[in-house]
Amino acid sequence: MDREALLNRLTALDFMAVDLGLYLNTHPDDRNAIGEYNKIIEAADLVRVKYEQAYGPLCSFRSLCQNPDKWIWNDNPWPWERSFNFLVSGEGCN
């Protein structure tokens, strides 16, 4: 997967983790939902590591600096900038 595909996948997984977490706040005994939630968290962590190894840190903290010679968080673009991100639209929305 290229950078954008990885980022798209990670964003989607993290979003699901948030939404399933909200669901679990009101359904704390739903074993099926807990299973789904854990699957999503594990999948997201794998994608996050993969992304950061290839393209650098996603956070200014809690992310490994993969390059031992250079702190690359300073390099543009940052995650909140338009050029960093992808457009959420298209077939996946239907």
Partner 1 sequence: MKELFEDYSNQMDVRNSSVGTNKNNNMCNAEKAYCNGNNDMTAGTMNTSKSMNNADYMTQSNSIMIDQMTDGSNMEYMSDTSVNGVMLKPAKEYSMGISDSCNECVIQKVGLAQAYVPYQATFNVMNPERSLCNGTAFQELISPYKKGTGLGKK
Q: Is 33 exposed, middle or buried (0-12, 13-18, 19+ CB in 10 A)?
A: middle
Q: How far is the CB of 50 from partner 1 (least distance, A)?
A: 15
* Helices vs. strands in the chain: H and E counts, helices first: 2, 0
How far, CA to CA in Å, does 62 sit from each of 8, 29, 33, 35?
A: 20, 31, 27, 25
Residue 13 contacts partner 1 per CB under 8 A: yes
Binding mask 19-58 for partner 1 (x = CB under 8 A): xx--x--xx--x-xx--x---x------------------
In whole angstroms, give the CA distance from residue 60 to residue 24.
Answer: 29
Is 63 a binder of partner 1 (CB under 8 A)? no
Number of residues in contact with partner 1 under rule CB under 8 A: 22
Q: Which residues bind partner 1 (CB under 8 A)?
A: 8-9, 11-13, 15-16, 19-20, 23, 26-27, 30, 32-33, 36, 40, 88-90, 92-93
